Structure formats: C-alpha cells, structure tokens
C-alpha cells in the first residue's frame, strides 16, 4: 500500500480525511490513529509523512522516487522520527530524546514529523512528558500516535489529537489478499474468519502448529459423533498436548466455533457463508446429530469455556467439561 489510491480501498474514510487536510492546507499538529493491528496504521503514517516531505508531489500523491521518499522508506529521513517501545513500554527517556531532537532546526526543511508506535504503552512519566510537548505545538511539527487501545492513554493526550478510527478489514478482502500471497483457499477462508488482521493471519498460516489445528478440530467432532466414550481420552492424549498455552487453546476453540457456525449456516442454506467447505460429508453427518438449536447451544458452551480459560480455570478441566457437555 504505497499510494493513497491503494490505501483508500482499505480505509476510505481515514484516507478521505487526511487527503482533504492536504488539499485545504489544514494539517493538524497531532493525529491519533486508532485501530487493530494490520489495519494499515503504520502504512498510512508513512505515506502521510511522504506527502508532507515530498517535493515532487502530484496533488497529494508522493512521487516515491525522490530522495525524501526513499529516505523515509529506508528509515533514514533526518526530520522524521519514529518512537517504538523499548522492551514492554515507551520510557520517559525516549520522549526526552525526541524533544531534544526537535530543538534542532530541520535539516532538510522547517518541517518535522514524529510517529509513536503503540502509544498506549507509554509509561506514566513518558505520557506526561509527551503531554507537555503536545501542549506547546509548533506550526511546523506533526505528531502521529498509533494505538490499538486509545482508552489506555491519558484523556488529555487524546483530547489534543485528531482521532482517526481505522476500520477492521472485511473478511472477503482478507481472504482474497491471503490467496494472493500464496495461502491455500481453504486456509485463507478459515484464517479470514478467525481474524481481520492480515499480518496475524499470515503469521498463523506460516506456523506449523496451526496446520494441525484444523485437523484436530475435525477429529474432535468425529470423536463426539462416533466414539463419545473416547472423548476424554482424545482431549488428554491428543488435544491438550497440542494446545499447551492458553492463547493456543483459545484459537482452537475459535476454530471449533467456526465448525458449529457452519452447521447453522448449513441448516439455513447459507452455503456461501460456510468456512469448512471441504468437509461437506462430515457436515451432513453432523447435522443429523446437532440441530440448528443444539448447534447454537454448543456455541454458547464454547463461549463459556473461552471465558473460563480467561479466568485461569485449569485448561484441561475446562476442555473435559466442554467435551462432556457437547456429547449430550
């Protein structure tokens, strides 16, 4: 996503607002980009910086070829400063260093831009230093704060920024983009149903661990249908050894939920909405065991299991109870 035209397809409203600010020459001194990971915040901020510094801009589109554009791509533009968490947080010293940089005159022009990634991870001291910085804005300075959780930031910081909300990507678009990146159609469909975060979906696809998740979910359903007496044995000897971490178990339960969603879609003749497209025969067999109502009840049971996992109830006990409940 290197042009405004390309990024507009993903974030039309934010793109319109930012490009209008250029056309009207009303660039704000501070922006807060709020949205999930993978929704284009970083790409948008880079493109915005290019449009500010590019001397060969065509309207709002940067040329992508000049020295300024290439320096931004390589991370070496002297008047564009990135601040990212040092470990788990952004520290006071990082903001102090940023402020020190801004006491110097711009090397290429009078403009300066700084981008703070994961701005919600600033320590209290760092937040207070940034607040003072924002309270005394320079006409030639533009701040861009990126966050997935703006509610974790100081209200006083949020109030001094123009908030731009990045919308989640549409599942069909995520699915299409994953396929373009070489992900199989069946995997792309499941991944797009699990997350609208393209980067996260690609990470899962590249993880050998995830390749077996789909298989284990189908095996669990088969056991519930045809060998219910072996349900607890399957959970202890095959399911739990694969889902060793709580986060992994949550993903496994999410995929299991997709299976029961498919049963509901099947009963309502919504073929296009079905995720497990290749398991038609298994789905037909399962529909004889789980009606639309019992499939909906099963979804409620899985959601309750997910809640217990978040509450630190022992994972094996949660899965054993869920398995017994799904057998009834």
Mean pLDDT of 150-171: 91
Residue 312 clears pLDDT 80, i.e. is over it: yes
CB 114 within 8 A of CB 83: yes
Report the DSSP pairing between strands 162-165 and 141-147.
unpaired
Cβ contacts of 174-180, under 8 Å, gap ≥ 24: 174/198, 174/201, 178/202, 178/205
- Compute the Cα dihedral for 123, 128, 133, 134 and give only its sign: positive
- What's residue 252's pLDDT? 96
Q: Across all residues in the chain, what is the average pLDDT?
A: 91
Tell me what pLDDT residue 109 has: 65
Assign a CATH topology to domain 207-327: Zinc Finger, Delta Prime; domain 3 (1.20.272)
- Please state, in angstroms and as integers, the Cα–Cα distance from residue 112 to each residue in 29, 48, 241, following that order: 10, 12, 52
Q: What is the mean pLDDT of residues 104-122?
A: 82
Q: What is the third-level CATH fold of 4-165? A: Rossmann fold (3.40.50)
Beta bridge partners of 143: 30, 114
Q: What is the pLDDT of residue 139?
A: 66
pLDDT value at position 122?
A: 96
In degrees to the nearest 10, what's the CA dihedral of 320, 206, 181, 64? 120
Q: What percent of the chain has pLDDT over 70?
A: 97
Question: Which pLDDT does position 101 carry in this prediction?
Answer: 79
User: Does position 87 have pLDDT exceeding 60, yes or no?
Assistant: yes
For 105-114, 152-161, 171-180, which range has the lowest pLDDT when averaged over its residues?
105-114
Cα torsion 66, 143, 163, 197: sign: positive
Rounded-to-integer distance, Cα 232 and Cα 304, Å: 19
Q: How confident is the model at residue 159 (pLDDT cuts 50, 70, 90)?
A: very high
Question: pLDDT value at position 266?
Answer: 94
Is the pLDDT at 106 greater than 70? The verdict is no
Alpha carbons 279 and 276: distance in angstroms, whole number = 6
pLDDT score, position 104: 67
Q: Does residue 17 register a pLDDT over 90?
A: yes
């Amino acid at each position: 996503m290197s042009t405004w035209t390309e990024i507009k397809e993903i974030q039309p409203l934010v793109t319109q607002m930012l490009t209008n600010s250029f056309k009207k020459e009303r660039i704000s001194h501070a922006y807060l980009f709020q949205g999930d990971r993978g929704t284009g915040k970083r790409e948008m901020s880079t493109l915005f910086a290019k449009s500010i510094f590019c001397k060969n801009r065509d309207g709002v589109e940067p040329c992508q070829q000049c020295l300024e554009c290439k320096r931004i791509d390589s991370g070496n533009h002297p008047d564009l400063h990135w601040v990212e968490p040092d470990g788990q947080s952004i520290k006071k010293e990082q903001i102090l260093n940023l402020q020190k940089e801004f006491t110097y005159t711009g090397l290429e022009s009078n403009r300066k831009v700084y981008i703070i990634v994961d701005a919600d991870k600033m320590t209290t001291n760092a937040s207070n230093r940034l607040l003072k910085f924002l309270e005394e804005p320079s006409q030639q300075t533009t701040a861009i704060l990126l966050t997935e959780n703006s509610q974790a930031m100081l209200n006083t910081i949020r109030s001094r920024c123009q908030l731009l909300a990045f919308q989640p990507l549409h599942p069909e678009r995520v699915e299409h983009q994953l396929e373009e990146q070489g992900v199989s159609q069946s995997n792309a469909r499941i991944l797009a149903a699990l997350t609208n975060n393209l980067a996260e979906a690609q990470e899962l696809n590249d993880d050998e661990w995830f390749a077996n998740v789909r298989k284990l979910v189908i095996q669990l359903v088969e056991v519930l249908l045809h060998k219910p007496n072996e349900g607890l044995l399957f959970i202890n000897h095959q399911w739990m050894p694969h889902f060793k971490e709580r986060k992994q178990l949550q993903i496994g339960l999410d995929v299991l939920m997709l299976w029961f969603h498919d049963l509901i879609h099947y009963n309502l003749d919504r073929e296009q909405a079905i995720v497990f497209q290749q398991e038609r025969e298994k789905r037909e067999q399962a529909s004889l065991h789980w009606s639309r109502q019992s499939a909906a009840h099963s979804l409620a049971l899985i959601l309750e299991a997910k809640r217990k996992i978040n509450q630190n109830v022992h994972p094996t006990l949660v899965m054993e109870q869920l398995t017994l409940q799904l057998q009834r």
